[in-house]
Structure 1
Amino acid sequence: MGMRGIFNIVGVIAIIQGVVGFVGQMWFDSNWGFLHRLVDLPLWAYLGVAAAGLVVLLAADSTKKREDR
């Protein structure tokens, strides 16, 4: 597994943790996922974590397409 594979895994984990943390706080008034054990984030920051994971996935995909040319 190369660096692109590692970035894909990190991106997916960030998206999952961001979405799960947001859903848990927004609709169930509890902390879900692992991220809340490391840092105390406000509600909107969980969406930022998910967005950062999406950016990582898109960047890894665009470098793959660039290398395939």
Structure 2
Amino acid sequence: MLGDAPRSGRPPRLSPEQWEDLTATLNASPTEAGYDEPAWTPELVRSHILDTYDVEYSHAHMYRMLAKAGLSRSG
């Protein structure tokens, strides 16, 4: 039979354990993670992921990461 097989998509770059750790970090104040910032911003999240997990994402992807972690776009 012709057709594409089901695809699972691109695998996440962060492991499930790293994602759990990141989500906990993002649901706390940035000051608790050692940053002198009042709120998580896409730029700060991107920098934190690169520094902590040595994984780089695009700036645009940070909005999806923040939403997935349960945070709004504001901040």
Larger Rg: 2
TM-score (norm 1): 0.35
Q: Which has the higher contact order (CA 8 A, sep 6+)?
A: 1
TM-score (norm 2): 0.33
Higher helix share: 1
